[in-house]
Amino acid sequence: MPRPYFTALQMVAATVLGALPLFAASDLPDVVAKVDGDPILRVDVLRVFDGIVLASGLEPSKLTPEGRTDATNKVVQEIINDRLLTRASKDVVVSDAEVDQRFEELKRSFTDETVFREELIKGGQTEAGVRDNLRTALKQERWLASQVADKITVTPPEVEKVYRESSLAFTSPEMMRASHILIQIYPGATEAVIAEKQRQIKTLADRLIKGEAFAPLARQFSEDAVTREAGGDLGYFAKDDVDPAFGNAVFKMKVGDIVSPVRTKIGIHIIQLTGRRPAEPIPLDQLRGRIANLIQVEKRKEALKKLLESLREKAKIEIFLAK
């Protein structure tokens, strides 16, 4: 989902990373837009263009002319939002200690301090400038939180309604319990080695067919050190939790069945299915916190969207990009 706003903190990242020359400077007017007379300059757009495009998961070098135009329009809108938020949050107090903490977090996102300093130079930034932008970002965050705090409360009936209407999303998958005997085959094994491993598995499978118990054979011969002492017991698992070949074999079995050989990335298996649990709804009490968080996230997004719309309605916004 697109960001509802482009904070000063995101602009810090974009500025530090620099901008790619995706279009000639002449493609944009000197003044790209105005917010209540405050100009947004061409250089402002170029400075953040690369960061916002990369954050959207696009490869800037592969953008078409139409794509560049669309991305530029989005950048301008985000800068407008940022100007509005900066103005609205100007009286919020942020301590130097909070800025220091956020600055250190930003530095840790780079490999080391040398790389961080190099990127500052590339972006034409100074430490003081980055700190100023971080202070602005913290002001915005605090102001936004104060504006939406009373709009993101979640009530028990709301949680219960989501649970009822999204029952499939809150269902545990079908679970299987199995034991296995593993004979490992390492990458690069020769055909002769593989043939010998297959012979070992067949010998063990034949012993099971003759009536020997699975667990003692697993304890003696399985090369899975984790499950060997438990008689090869893997416990309960969902199909997607295991190797596809293993999962496909197990989920076709009936309880008590033994299947061999099953080849996976780590070797050859003999598998015994020992239990099966059908898919079933997860009890509401186990999900209340998770569902409440999901509702709160959606409410926050909607509240921020409406807040920005209100700020924009009260401002005089002029955009001078070519249609």
User: What value, to the nearest 5°, has the Cα angle with vertex 82 and ends 79 and 83?
Assistant: 90
- Assigned domain for 287 exists: no
Q: What is the pLDDT of residues 176-219, one digit of tens each?
A: 999 999 999 999 999 999 999 999 999 999 999 999 999 999 99
Q: Are residues 15 and 96 in the same domain?
A: yes
Q: Are residues 274 and 302 in the same domain?
A: no
Q: Are residues 264 and 180 in the same domain?
A: yes
Map residue 223 onto helix, strand or coil. coil
- Assigned domain for 81 exists: yes
Q: Are residues 230 and 206 in the same domain?
A: yes
Q: Are residues 139 and 36 in the same domain?
A: yes
Q: Enumerate the β-bridge partners of residue 100.
A: none
Q: Are residues 137 and 228 in the same domain?
A: no
Query: Is residue 150 pLDDT above 60, yes or no?
Result: yes
Q: Are residues 205 and 257 in the same domain?
A: yes
- Assigned domain for 15 exists: yes
Report the C-alpha gap between 169 and 75 in whole angstroms: 35
CATH for 62: 1.10.4030.10
Q: Residue 13 corresponds to which amino acid?
A: A
Residues spanned by the domain of 309: 8-153+294-319
Tokens of 141: 């965050």
Map residue 172 onto helix, strand or coil. strand
Q: In sequence order, what are the residues at sequence separation of 6 or more whose Cβ sits closer than 8 angstroms to the Cβ of residue 127?
A: 103, 120
- Assigned domain for 194 exists: yes
Report the C-alpha gap between 33 and 320 in whole angstroms: 6
Q: What is the pLDDT of residues 167-188, one digit of tens each?
A: 767 888 999 999 999 999 999 9
Q: What is the pLDDT of residues 18-74, one digit of tens each?
A: 333 444 444 789 999 999 999 999 988 887 776 565 556 666 667 777 877 887 888
- Assigned domain for 22 exists: yes
- Assigned domain for 266 exists: yes
Q: Are residues 194 and 251 in the same domain?
A: yes
Give how many domains the chain has, as a whole number: 2
Q: Are residues 273 and 298 in the same domain?
A: no
Report the C-alpha gap between 182 and 163 in whole angstroms: 41
- Assigned domain for 289 exists: no
- Assigned domain for 64 exists: yes
Q: Are residues 89 and 183 in the same domain?
A: no
Q: What is the pLDDT of residues 82-124, one digit of tens each?
A: 999 999 999 999 999 999 999 999 999 888 889 888 888 876 7
Q: Are residues 89 and 129 in the same domain?
A: yes
